[in-house]
Amino acid sequence: MSAPTVVAASRSSRLAWAAADTWVVARRHLWHLLRRPDELLGTLMIPVLAVAMFGFVFGDALGAAMAVPGTEYREFLLPGLFALTMAFGIGNTTIATAADVRGGVLDRMRSLPMSPVAFLAGRSLADVLVALVELAILMGLGVLFGWQWHSGPGPVLAALALLILLRAACSWVGILLGLLVSGPEAAMKYFALVFPLAMVADTVVPTHLMPGWLAGPAGWNPLSATVVAIRDLFGNPAGPSASWVADHAVPMAVAWPLAITALCLPLALARLRGLAR
């Protein structure tokens, strides 16, 4: 066997090893969640409460501010809630990662003959799989409450792919924060910073209704790109274009999560190696 063939086979073997280890770690996180139904219920209740609160408690008032009926506002709102749910997953990821660090789970995993990247990639994969369930719940509730998509299966699948891409990026943000904080208690405090960052975007209200000094940063919020893009792909109502990002929403909805992942993934791996010292 030639040297290039041996190198290629070795590389393929390492990739297969890393993929298998990633699935083992992801399955561990999923089983852990299933064995704690209270935690699972709390995770899945967030989308339900978000639809109830913003869609019905505040829906008519916010719709009146936009000069649209409440039903049309809910069509505008649901894509924003989809993206918010993906972003709020940062909190669960940060707390779970910090708990694994403090509880010695990562130390025990590092003692096994496993691919180092699998420790973190498995966590991210589990987050994405849970996000699929959350999206299914949200979309089902949305249909019950009057939301629907007005485009074909291709654009709908593209919108879902953008949401999963956003969740994967948010997962790596949560993993990095979980490795940096001192414990789950500190992680909960950091999550408080996610809420205003997630709301200052084109999620619940359009950016053109925000004060001028706030509309600019809100338009460049990574969530805004995803929300504007999926509204267009779903065929849902959208506010007037207020920024360059809104005019290029789909490519920016791809570029932002990839950039966030490219930044956080190597930093998380470096932090993991630092914890081993």
Q: Residue 126 pLDDT more than 70? A: yes
pLDDT tens column, 23-63: 888 888 888 777 776 666 666 677 677 777 776 666 666 66
Query: Please, what sign has the CA dihedral across residues 257, 262, 264, 268?
Result: positive
DSSP states of 211-261: -HHHHHHHHTSHHHHHHHHHHHHHT---PPP-SHHHHTHHHHHHHHHHHHH
The pTM is what?
A: 0.87
Q: pLDDT band at residue 109, thresholds of 50, 70 and 90?
A: confident
Cα-based distances in Å from 33 to 92, 104, 147, 211: 11, 18, 30, 41
Residue 225 has a pLDDT of 92
Estimate to the nearest angstrom the gap between the alpha carbon of 166 and the chain centroid.
5
Question: Using CA atoms, how far apart are residues 50 and 25, in angstroms rounded to an integer?
Answer: 30
Specify the length of the chain in residues: 277
Q: pLDDT band at residue 127, thresholds of 50, 70 and 90?
A: very high
Question: Using CA atoms, how far apart are residues 97 and 176, in angstroms rounded to an integer?
Answer: 9
Q: Residue 5 pLDDT more than 50? A: no
122 SS3 class: helix
Average pLDDT, the chain: 81
Give me 200's structure tokens. 């200052």
Task: Give the pLDDT mean for 102-118.
Answer: 75
Residue 134 has a pLDDT of 86
pLDDT tens column, 134-186: 898 888 888 887 788 888 899 999 999 999 999 999 999 999 999 988 777 77
Closest residue by Cα to residue 28 from 87, 89, 90, 112: 112
Residue 8 has a pLDDT of 46
Q: Residue 75 pLDDT more than 80? A: yes
